[in-house]
Structure formats: structure tokens, C-alpha cells
Structure 1
Amino acid sequence: MDFNTIFAERTKRLAISIINELSQLPYSDKVSVIRKQIFRSSSSIAANYRAMCRARSNKEKYAKLCIVVEETDETVFWLEIIEEIKMTNNIELIKNLKNEAEEILKVTSSYKKKIGADL
């Protein structure tokens, strides 16, 4: 398998893990708002990374990667909020999800800089 295939699967696993963990929380206004936001941002990471892999040009690849970086940063933000307000008792899992999102952010930000320099 090539790097893009492995990384596309990694971004999808992050979204699935977030969705599975937060779907179990009982309804409240607080949970509902945050859950909706992080479901959107985390699934957008995976969807836009896949789209980036199929880009027809370097400019299109760069544009999709910019979205991936932005959505990953937003996902890290929501995970920080979830952690700080103690929205779930499974703090260790939230920390692990945040670490994974931060690693994805570092990799995609670096890749974005490399592609941007080549445009």
C-alpha cells in the first residue's frame, strides 16, 4: 500500500472513532452542539484527504489539503473543548484521539507547505 492509501485509512479511522465514542453520550444541548461540530470536522478530514488523493492538478491537491489542515485543526479544537469541560468520562480516549488528530495536523501541514512551495 502507498502512503496516501494508508493515510486516507488513518483519517477515516479517526472520524469513525470520534463518531463511535461521542454517539454513546446522552443527549443535552451542550453535547448536541459539540457532537455535531466535531462529527462534521472529523469526517471532513477523511473526505477531503480522499479527494486530495484524486486531485487532477497540484493546485487542486493544494486546495483540498488546505481544507484538510483547517478541518483537522478544528477537530483538535473540539477535542480540547471536550477534554476541558469533561464531556465524557473516557478522558484517556479523548487524549488519544487528540494526539492522533495533532499528528495528522503536523503531517498534513508539512505536506501543505511542501506542495505550496512547488506551485
Structure 2
Amino acid sequence: MKKNEDNLIVVKSKAFALRIIKMYKYLCDQKHEFILSKQVLRSGTSIGANVKEGVRGQSKADFYAKLNISLKEASETEYWLELLHESDYLPENDFQSIYADCKEILRILTAITKTQKK
């Protein structure tokens, strides 16, 4: 696997985590929403943490396992984003932008895990 700065999923998952952190601050400070926002903070930042751990994995099986966890966390994050939007905590434009990033990460992780499975 490529170095961290050249690795698309490492870069994208870290940038996504930073967006999630900013969204969390907004939800807490502006919307006074603490429950759903804490869930999306946990799952949204976990994606990149597991990707990073997988890149440093001890074996291909370890790499695959960590990226599979990242995929599950991305799917969970997608769910929390949908709930935040449908409960009117996230405005449409904000939701569409971060949701598109989440879907892109899901596509990349799905492709990586399918390739690794073969």
C-alpha cells in the first residue's frame, strides 16, 4: 500500500474526520444537540483511525479486517447523517456536502475490501 500522503483513502478519511469534528462542534454549539452528534463523531472519526491502523497492519488479513471495520463505521456514519438531516438538525446544503463525502468513502472502501477479498 502507498505512503500515507499518497494514499487516497488515508487522505480522504482524515479530511472527512476533520469535517465531522467541525460538524459536531456546530451541532453542539448552535443546535444544542448532543446525543446524535456524539454518535456521528465517534463513527465518523473511527473510519480514518481504522484505515490508518490497517495501513500499518501486520498482515494482509489484518489490513483487510481493519478496512472492513472502516467500511462498517462509514455505513454507520451514513445512518447518523441521515438521522441528523431528517430530524432537521443538519441544513440541506450541509447535509448534501458531507453525505456525498461519506458516500465516496463508502465506495472507495467497498472497492478496496472487494479487491482484498479476492
TM-score category, normalised to shorter length: 0.7 to 0.9
> What's the C-alpha RMSD, in Å, of the aligned pairs?
1.8
Unpaired runs of 5+ residues, structure 2, are none
Distance in 1, Cα, partners of 2:24 & 2:62: 33
Task: Say whether the 8 Å CA contact 1:83–1:95 is kept in structure 2.
Answer: no
2:116 aligned with 1:109, yes or no? no
1:36-55 equivalence runs, <5 A: 36-55=38-57
Using structure 2 for the length normalisation, give the TM-score.
0.87
- Count, aligned residues: 114
Over the matched positions of the two proteins, sequence identity in percent amounts to: 27
1:1-119 equivalence runs, <5 A: 5-25=7-27, 26=29, 28=32, 31-88=33-90, 90-117=91-118
| Letter of the structure 2 residue corresponding to residue 92 of structure 1 | N
Using structure 1 for the length normalisation, give the TM-score.
0.86
For residues 10-48 of structure 1, give each alpha carbon's deviation from its aligned partner in whole angstroms, at most 9, with x where no partner exists.
Answer: 1111111121123123464xx211011100001100100
Unpaired runs of 5+ residues, structure 1, are none
Q: Which runs of 4+ in 1 moved over 6 A?
A: none
